[in-house]
Amino acid sequence: MVNALSSGGSAKLVLITGVSRGLGRALALEMAKRGHTIVGCSRSQEKLHSLSTQLSPDDPSKHLFVLADVRSDSSVAELAKVMVDTKVNNAGTINKNNKIWEISSEEFDAVLDTNVKGTANILRHFLPFMIQNKKGLIVNLSSGWGRSSAAEVAPYCASKWAIEGLTGSVAKELPFGLAVVALNPGVINTDMLASCFGSSAAVYPSPESWAPNATTLILGLTAQDNGASLTV
C-alpha cells in the first residue's frame, strides 16, 4: 500500500474504520458527497466493493478501501502507510443482551478487542505521523453508554467508558496543533441498536439522516477541541 491519494483545496483525506455498514458507511457517503476523499477499512471485501462502486462508479481510484481488521496491530500498521487528515475510529461491536455472568469470555474479549484495542491500534500507528506533520484529528466514536450504563450490555459499556478515558489521557499527551476527541453519535437505528432494542430501534433516526449533522460537526473540529467529549 502506498500513499497515492491526494485531495485538493479544502478537501480532506478522511480515514473511517468500520466503513462498510452503519454509521461508517453513512459518514463515508456524506463526506464523499461534500468532495472529501475517503480511506475506508472493513473486514468485508464484498461490502467494501459495494461502497466503492456506489461512491465512485466511474473513478475507482478516487477513494481507497482496504480489507483490514483493526484488532490486528500488523493490519493497522499497514493501513497507516496512507497519510490522512482526519481519522474516525468507528469500527465497533456489541455483545448480545445478557447478564455479565452469562456472557462468555470469548464474547467479552471480542467487544473489547474491537472497540478498545482496535482504537488503540489506530492511535499507536497514526499518531507518530500526525506528530511529525504537526497536525491532524482523531475522532473516537464513543456512546451514551460510555457516560452512563445499562443492564445486559456491560462489555459494551465498559468498552465505551474506556474510550472516554483513553481519549482524555491521549489528549493530554499530544503536542499543540493536534486533537483527539470522543464523540457520542446519539441513539441511531443501526444493527447494533437493533440487537439491544429489537423492533423498537426503528423509531430512532437512520444513519443516513444522522450523517449530515455528524459530518458538519466532525469537519468543523480544530485543535482547540482536543480532549473534548462531544455529542452529535
pLDDT value of residue 212? 98
pLDDT value of residue 7? 60
pLDDT value of residue 12? 94
- What stretches of the chain show up as alpha helix (H) in DSSP? 22-33, 45-55, 73-79, 105-112, 118-133, 154-173, 191-197, 207-219
Alpha-carbon distances, residue 177 vs 170, 171, 221, 222, 228 (angstroms): 14, 11, 12, 8, 14
pLDDT value of residue 9? 61
pLDDT band at 60 (very low <50, low <70, confident <90, very high): confident
CA distance 4 to 64: 9
Delineate the domains of the chain, giving CATH numbers in brackets. Answer: 13-231 (3.40.50.720)
In tens, the pLDDT along 1-33 reads 434 565 656 889 999 999 999 999 999 999 999
In tens, the pLDDT along 141-197 reads 999 999 999 999 999 999 999 999 999 999 999 999 999 999 999 999 999 999 999
Region of residue 177 (left: phi > 0; alpha: psi -120 to 50; beta: else): left
Active centre residues (catalytic): 156
In tens, the pLDDT along 39-58 reads 999 999 999 999 999 998 88
H or E element that contains 86:
strand 86-89
pTM given for the model: 0.94
pLDDT value of residue 5? 61
In tens, the pLDDT along 101-146 reads 999 999 999 999 999 999 999 999 999 999 999 999 999 999 999 9
